[in-house]
Structure 1
């Protein structure tokens, strides 16, 4: 399973075709979708680059075997992250979790969405 941090507003945006694959801005800008391998890494991303993102943050749980796009593990040294080189089919998303933050806005845990 792969994890992808996304603001609720981005995931919930009403596409013209609701079955259209999810294609975040990073896909157009960098050529891939950033993902994480585990909950701890996803929380670190939520607490880092997404710390000041307004509104709720979600974590998409993605079944790699359901993706049509290639997944490459890339990074530097011993730290590798999965990158999806294409859009994410919505049928590959098996669960959507919510990032719970503390009073100071720090990401503390991932929880099932109510």
Structure 2
């Protein structure tokens, strides 16, 4: 598999974007991260966190408390990925109306009868 497809698939995952965006503000414990990332299931959050940790975007720190406290934070790589995702998000918001207008114009031209 090509390296750009692997990284592209990782960053295109909606949960990745939401988790990185949430952690960009500050480290979170598992429960507060789950509450902050609305809609993610009890199964999907740990899967995504493991994948992000495996790829070096997130660190997992276990504190010796009873019960153990686990905190997730961005690595330097995770922080740079979060910055890129925020830029894409800002571009999307800034260009949303224009894209809708372009689609309307295109669709009206395609729907016109030929001849």
Which structure shows the bigger proportion of residues in helix conformation? 2
TM-score (norm 1): 0.30
Which structure shows the bigger proportion of residues in strand conformation? 1
TM-score (norm 2): 0.30
Structure with greater contact order relative to length (CA < 8 Å, sep ≥ 6): 1
Q: For the pair shown, which has the larger CA radius of gyration, 1 or 2?
A: 2
